[in-house]
Amino acid sequence: MTHNHIGSEGLPRFPEPYWRDSVTLPTFQSLQEDLEVDIVIIGGGITGITTAYLLVKEGLKVALLEADTLLNGTTGHTTAKITAQHGLIYDELISHMGRTKARQYYEANSEALQFIKQTVEEHQINCDFSQQDAYIYATTKECVHKLEQEFTAYQQLHIPGELISHIPFDIKIHKALSMKNQAQFHPVSYLTKLVQLIVESGGLIFENSMAIDLEEGTQPTVLTREGRRVTANYVLSCSHFPFYDGLGFYFTRLYAQRSYVIAVKTEKEFPGGMYISADQPTRSLRSTTMNGENIVLIGGESHKTGQGKDTLEHYKALEAFGHEVFGMNEILYRWSAQDLVTLDKVPYIGEITANHRNVLVATGYRKWGMTNGTAAALLLRDIVLKRENSYIDLYRPSRFFINPSLKEFFEQNLDVAKHLISGKLEVPDRKIEDLTNGEGSVVLYNGERAGAYKDDNGQLHIVDTTCTHLGCETEWNHGDRTWDCPCHGSRFSYTGEIIEGPAELPLKRLQ
């Protein structure tokens, strides 16, 4: 473990998740030849890896292509609570989709939790899996009403839960809603074991192999950035933002939300359990062990990607909260990541559009992908094997509920349009000469908007800030030293390389 030095702001200098630093991950070569397989899976996060594990177990020939390295996407940066308590959701699902679908959502996620538990037991996976109760708490009177409504929804859906007045640590709360017997784990340890099992069963895994396009047909073919072709009976897009979007469906129906996590040693003992606030700003808490010692993960500060304040401020807000509640000895790690949200808050899992029977997608978990990603893997397996699955309609990507989807659709796309235009009209007031070492900013460069970062050695890296996806203007993310797009969440390094899609081309360098 190499957790990095503390920088001038009192935080670890570079963002790095504890999960990835505490496990030695296997490495895989990039795809060097054309392939023909039964199933090609794009993306090596919890969805892609779990799906590959399930399908090789069924005797299918599976290839998994990962653009970067395995588990370096959102799954490597999660907080890894495994629960069907997804914040306040069931009351809303009942009013938008009815009781049957709301209950199904609970069942799909509870079954996913049970699947993870059984898999851990079956393979004796050493991944700190432990049963924990989950709590949503309200610190304001306004939110108490919402918790009461959610509790009523639990009763209507027969979800075991309790409305209580105390949680076991020093936050002044009005009420909390519990869901018993949920769980937490070390996600990278768990999935590293599944990777080993995939390889032992003959599954093929390729890293640094980005899928950039798809040729449709009875046997679709995935094309990689390096010009390789993988032909299969089914293509499964588990790439977070879908790597292929035949009809432009997903760009208008998904948006990215970032949040922040710090891992800390605390003065007060963490009492167990997993917590999330119902009020804003969100605060999320759980503990884990590091070298036999308890450490606490404090998460929260969500905002739309590319639209927040100075991102270091988000870490500082979490630090202040930690000091107040637990007293803090040391911040060991900090990291941030984003997840995708759909119009009606239920993931899109199934045929990518109604016309594509052999191209499937799984995305939009709204920061609850440990269970939703696992439920997705189980559903994708059943679709491929033509088995019955009760959740096909619930998750079907082509569903459309007038309320809330229509309102969200207009709001999201108005927001994208706003950023598309406002970024172009903005005249930056900073110049390259203003930057100090370690600082990045939008600047005026040769009379145009550009992005400049001056690294610790004083070297300048200047890029065209126009996102190569659909042309919105990216914004500087100070905490991660990246250029983030406010429209669909693409992210680029300060040298312009792609970190996260949907963009498939780097930002143009201007030097």
Q: Which residues bind ligand FAD (CB under 6 A)?
A: 42-48, 65-68, 72-75, 77-81, 210-211, 238-240, 243, 259, 261, 299, 337-339, 365, 367-371, 373, 501
CB atoms within 10 A of CB 210: 20
Q: Quick one: how far is CA 39 from the chain centroid?
A: 24
Map residue 198 onto helix, strand or coil.
helix
Quick one: 143 or 210, whose CB is closer to ligand FAD? 210
CB-nearer residue toward ligand FAD: 48 or 220: 48
User: Residues 487, 492, 494, 496: which binds ligand FES (CB under 6 A)?
Assistant: 487
Listed in sequence order, the residues at least 6 apart from 143 whose beta carbon sits closer than 8 Å to its beta carbon are 174, 278, 279
- DSSP H helices, 11-163, are 18-21, 46-57, 90-97, 99-122, 141-157
467 near ligand FES, rule: CB under 6 A: yes
Given a contact cutoff of 8 angstroms between Cβ atoms, the answer to whether 267 and 128 are in contact is no
Q: Residue 491: which of 258, 286, 144 has the closest Cα?
A: 258
Decide whether 449 or 469 has the Cβ nearer to ligand FAD: 469
Q: Classify residue 149 as exposed, middle or buried by CB count within 10 Å of its CB (0-12, 13-18, 19+).
A: middle
Q: Which is nearer to ligand FES, 203 or 486 (CB)?
A: 486
- Closest to 502 measured CA to CA, from 15, 208, 67, 207: 67
Residue 490 within binding range of ligand FES, rule CB under 6 A? yes
Which of ligand FES, ligand FAD, none interacts with 334 (beta carbon under 5 to 8 A by kind)?
Answer: none
What are the two backbone dihedrals, phi and then psi, of residue 459, each rounded to the nearest 5 degrees? -80, 140
Instruction: Choose the contact partner of 75 out of ligand FES, ligand FAD, none; CB within 5 to 8 A by kind.
Output: ligand FAD
66 binds, among ligand FAD, ligand FES, none (CB under 5 to 8 A by kind): ligand FAD
The partner in contact with residue 423, picked from ligand FES, ligand FAD, none with C-beta cut-offs of 5 to 8 angstroms by kind, is none
Judged by beta carbon, residue 92 or residue 245, the one nearer ligand FES is 245
404 secondary structure, DSSP code: I
- Cα gap 260→95, rounded to integer Å: 31
If one asks whether residue 469 binds ligand FES (CB under 6 A), the answer comes out as yes
Q: Taking CB under 6 A as the rule, does residue 463 contact ligand FES?
A: no
Q: Are 360 and 352 in contact (CB under 8 A)?
A: yes
The minimum distance between CB 248 and ligand FES, in angstroms, equals: 11
Among ligand FAD, ligand FES, none, partner that 392 touches (CB below 5 to 8 angstroms by kind) = none
The answer to whether 242 contacts ligand FES (rule: CB under 6 A) is no
Q: Does 240 bind ligand FES (CB under 6 A)?
A: no
